[in-house]
Structure 1
């Protein structure tokens, strides 16, 4: 029986991908690097630090990685704070509340920084629902490396066979499967470029899930 649900955040709990996209491409323009949409799609699920480490090497950038990360965070925060219409994805709060009513432990395991996760959790009052928060900035390697999900299961004190992951990006799905965890993919409107075939199940709407159906997996 499933005892722990591990949520990705961006594109699963909240639709911040357009804000990330805007922040990244604004900075790419400032740096003068020709990142394409196709290349950007390969970054989804990776930490911002790892993205800029890759770009620094590829484009021989003189800028310090931390400076580039901080600039992207500054751009993201400004857009996030100014977007009054930003909300959780439809149905996800209902699912979260249902899972907690049925004593399912919740963990968020996001490639986002701790500061960005905190910004989302504080704005939408999510902290009471989640037992643990795991940020990709604490790991040397980003998804598709499984470390972040293995750590989430470890913190939850739950065997991987009794966990599931909810993801929207190919890198995240690959990480979940590498960790040996059942993965449900949410086909987000902003993840149409993502290959979801590795997922154990693909949903189009969070109304397709509830605590009873999740607990019965496996």
Structure 2
């Protein structure tokens, strides 16, 4: 069987490039407390993979918050960016720098496609030292609909000039895998223990670690028929 290389690889950010979900969860819950309501960790985890504005729209509806979802999201993300700026020694998820280097060596383009806004993506990449490595990004503010709609992945493919059917998405969330399928792309579901409660069984393949992941293993996904 001939090995087929992916035309491009699209990475989610939170929980794939950077283990930021525990940080987002803590800041979200603390900000909720400031606003006068309790958000249990289990409730927050159901929101993983959706845009911050969507998360706060749901919280506004449930808890009758007076402020607009965009304003609530902006304030929460301001707390997150303050955390990044004040932190040192933040690193990408293990295996990511090696995989990015391997993709570069094989001339396979890649992009970051996240429901976060582009300013948050840029701040995160700078904090973990990948801002000069990952130069093609698509954020939730670049498209009409965030995940689980396919818009983010479709725009990333368009930016890289690669047909959607030739793209591989690496995701750790239910909504991200659903968005990849809706975009007509292959997917690799990363079972990140810090992103619990996600349903990744509809991904073409699953893995429990990104460490040691190589282009050859990504070819294995493309060589076999999709689910």
Q: TM-score, normalised by structure 1?
A: 0.93
Alignment counterpart, residue 50 of structure 1, candidates 34, 54, 58: 54
Shift of 1:115: 1.3
Partner of 1:19: 23
Alignment counterpart, residue 138 of structure 2, candidates 119, 128, 134: 134
Partner of 2:188: 184
Note the alpha carbon deviations across 1:87-139, whole angstroms, 9 max, x for none: 11111100111111110001100111211111122233424433520001223
The root-mean-square deviation of aligned C-alpha atoms, in Å, is: 1.7
Unaligned runs of 5+ in 1: none
Partner of 1:39: 43
CA distance in 2 between counterparts of 1:82 and 1:132 reads 26
Partner of 1:170: 174
Note the alpha carbon deviations across 1:65-93, whole angstroms, 9 max, x for none: 23212210121122223332421111110
Q: Where in structure 2 are the equivalents of 1:122-161 lying within 5 Å?
A: 122-161=126-165
CA distance in 2 between counterparts of 1:45 and 1:184 reads 15
Q: Which has the higher helix share?
A: 1
CA distance in 1 between counterparts of 2:177 and 2:73 reads 24
| Pair 202,208 (structure 1): closer, same or farther in 2 beyond 3 Å | farther
Q: TM-score, normalised by structure 2?
A: 0.89
Count, aligned residues: 218
Shift of 1:32: 1.7
